[in-house]
Amino acid sequence: MRIASSYSLVSMLSCTSVWVGGAAGKDMPTVIAGMDTLRQHVDATQALFDSYNGGLLSSLELGRSIWNVYSSTKSARSHWDAASPFEGEDVADILVSYHAMRRSIASAVDSASSKGSIYDKSGVRMMAVGMLQLFENERSDFQQAARAKIPESFHDSIAGPVASLEKEFQSAMKALA
């Protein structure tokens, strides 16, 4: 009986150490994959904004795509929140994906803000402004999560581009107000 319970304990501890050790090694690819997935959803949504004509079907398709972006944002941020702090080469790889995602978001925000008259005709301007504000809040939370996980020496490499993205959101909200 003692041997069996000792064996069970050793097995459980071995599995736990593999799981914990493996999780730490997977943080960087998981964070990058989350940002890449978010960028892909943002790019797909931008294409829908670019072709948006205000019709019912177009509005439903755009709404679904915006929901996918929102869900991907939450998921990507949860990967940042769950990750251990990053160092060295990991940060450089992460920043490549981070900046690609940021550029996609800036382009999508610009496309979304250019459709003000169509939002008026469709009666969805207030909803568009509300969604834009929601995403601005998410952008801020995402930035805080990222800054918490990368060394302070890299904060300057995201500060300017992130401030630029914040201005894009503010400009878009003014355009739609």
Q: Could you give all domains of the chain from N- to C-terminal order, each with its CATH number?
A: 26-176 (1.20.58)
Contacting residues for 9 by C-beta, under 8 A, at least 6 apart? none
What pLDDT score does 81 carry?
93
**pTM, two decimal places:** 0.78
What pLDDT score does 23 carry?
43
Closest CA to 115 of 54, 55, 161: 54
What pLDDT score does 10 carry?
35
What pLDDT score does 113 carry?
87
Copy the structure tokens of residue 150: 């990368």
Distance CA 70, CA 38 (A): 9
Those residues of the chain that have pLDDT short of 50 are 1-25
What pLDDT score does 26 carry?
67
Copy the structure tokens of residue 154: 């890299």
| Longest Cα–Cα distance in the chain | 76
Instruction: For the beta carbon of residue 171, count every other beta carbon within 10 angstroms.
Output: 13
Copy the structure tokens of residue 143: 């930035």
Contacting residues for 172 by C-beta, under 8 A, at least 6 apart? 109, 110, 112, 113, 132
Whether the CB-CB separation of 77 and 142 falls below 8 Å is answered with yes
Amino acid letter, residue 177: A
